[in-house]
Structure 1
Amino acid sequence: MSEPSCEIRAARPNDVPEIFKMLRELAIFEKLEHQLTASEDDMHDALFVRRCAEALVAQTDRQDESHGPLVGYAIYFENFSTFLCKPGIYLEDIYVRPEFRKMGIGKSLLRRLAEIAIERNCGRMEWAVLNWNQNAIDVYQAIGGDVLPDWRIVRLGTETIEKLAE
């Protein structure tokens, strides 16, 4: 089977159902499906109504019975570095369907995101990776990424935020 041609483009509203299917695939892969409480409508609202995040999609010329031409996505948003006094891009998710991995699609998504960071004069791009996902760590290090061992993610969930705000 020959490798499909791939286009990286901004997501459109009609892409949401397929992006959401891939999000579920990612949640299953990360063993976090129990944390996926959002819906397609929530994703549409976040990306295209409230615009609190943006998405790129990888589209191929190949379709099969299990899915359409979308084979990967990256969801990101702008953050800010006080040390640089510049915006940054935080990559929330990057996912390529298993049968399309090792074809450069993930790297193409990251490359397009880097282009966007340059266009926006961003000082950095950041994302998190699960410590057991060595394949992803290897890819990120191969492109020059620093996996920061001294930093830990701190998260407050909805209930904790409400308690803190009281």
Structure 2
Amino acid sequence: MPTLILARHAKAEAPAAGLSDMDRALAVIGRKASVNLGEALVEASLTPDVALVSPANRTQQTWKLMATALPECETRIVDAIYETHVPGLLRELNTLDVDGVVVVVGHEPTSSAAAAFLSGSGSDKTALQRVAHGLPTGTAAVLEFDCSWAELGARTARLTAIVSGRDL
């Protein structure tokens, strides 16, 4: 069964004068949450086959630290994930030819909005409530679906869990 994990990057340093948003790095607490999130995915038997990662520094760092627990996962840097919206993310997902589990390491509000948009019948109510408030940094929404990646769209998936690297 195809599975999509929508992960928000971990806690980043605050914006600073002279530093572009793209270049912001993870805060110390974000580094720990990233490692924890990778480990939490493994503990939940969620081992991605492919990671689609935004080119932003904080998402790159989040994934590299998550990947220490997921060494077999293929990494793809996808420029379109940075500053996109739900339709833009869906365009990327609909072109996938992957069997199994895909993790997207991206940004808010797209991660939670995409999880809400994709969530249909059979979704976990508590997870839906958490997504409605936005995904906190270092947290991921897990969605399962029965269709192909090309058919993934509104209400075609089940939101089954929220996994956090912050709660460990």
TM-score, scaled to structure 1: 0.28
Higher relative contact order (CA 8 A, sep 6+): 2
Larger radius of gyration: 1
